[in-house]
Amino acid sequence: MNHAEMTEKMAAGNGFIAALDQSGGSTPKALKGYGVEESAWNTEEEMFGLIHDMRSRIIKSPAFTGDKVIGAILFERTMDGTVEGKGVPAALIEKGVVPFIKIDKGLEDEANGVQLMKPMPTLDALLERSKALGVYGTKERSVINSANAEGIAAVVKQQFEIGRQVLSHGMMPIIEPEVNIKSETRAECDKILLAEILKNLDELPEGERVMLKLSLPVVAGTFDPLVSHPKVLRVVALSGGYARPEACVELGKNNGIIASFSRALLSDLRFQMSDAEFDASLGAAIDDIYKGSTVKTAAVAA
């Protein structure tokens, strides 16, 4: 796939994006969910080696193909690794899966009800290296915990600033202002977030497009104006802590939004499984998430 083919796949492909980008502090939790206890490693390098083995097993699986998984988001170390002797981005492209990279360096402490992204002083160098490896785009995450208009405006402003930096390198940003699904003001957060995103989209130069990764809204259809916006290539949803069955049901209520799930994709996989068991479990999860992404229960407006 060349860049134009990847853009077309992201714009119109049937399927979803796999989030394989757990990093730093979330890695031990991801490994524990996979059945690997902290006693299995002594150093950070060994820990990252184990998570890379898990991701390699997923990517190599015959269940993991571009027919249903149209994209995959990678942690930087995963991008730099190999699968069966091939660089990971090249291995994904060979399977018809568009590669992205997680670029944020974690979150600042909460202020005004939100957590902004930490500074990324080496971002330009990372973008150049990623693009050279065949990576199509990026993902960058902030968190919204309460309906503070000033805080949400700051999150979206920062996201679009980073998005424009990504676009300047000829790459596609996935802008991710996650609304905490445990927030007591989720519905109001969704409304403020929608208004701020629309405002920032209007300020994007003509011809520029971004992708959006959003929490599933309280009210189905809330993000319809983003799905149809000419400056949005695709809207994807994170599972945000929902178990897979519930996440897929909520996803199915929102027309035009596909999944970009991590925990909901990986939750049933275990290190101890045989290859046949692993492939069957991964295949079942992929089928569930594919259905939620492509078979919609929401009424389509006339």
- The reply to whether 176 belongs to the active site is yes
Cα–Cα dist 61/70, whole Å:
15
Beta-bridge mates of residue 32: none
Q: Which one from 68, 95, 139, 213 is the annotated catalytic residue?
A: 213
Q: Which of 190, 234, 195, 243 lies closest to 212 in space, CA to CA?
A: 234
Burial class (CB in 10 A: 0-12, 13-18, 19+), 24: exposed
- For the four alpha carbons of 123, 11, 52 and 133, in that order, the dihedral sign comes to negative
- Angle 143-261-63 from CA coordinates, rounded to 5°: 160
Cα–Cα dist 52/75, whole Å:
10
* Distant-in-sequence, close-in-space partners of 172: CB < 8 Å, separation ≥ 6: 7, 10, 100, 136, 137, 138, 166, 209, 210, 211, 233
Q: Which one from 176, 178, 196, 250 is the annotated catalytic residue?
A: 176
3-state secondary structure of 179: strand
Return the active site residues: 176, 213
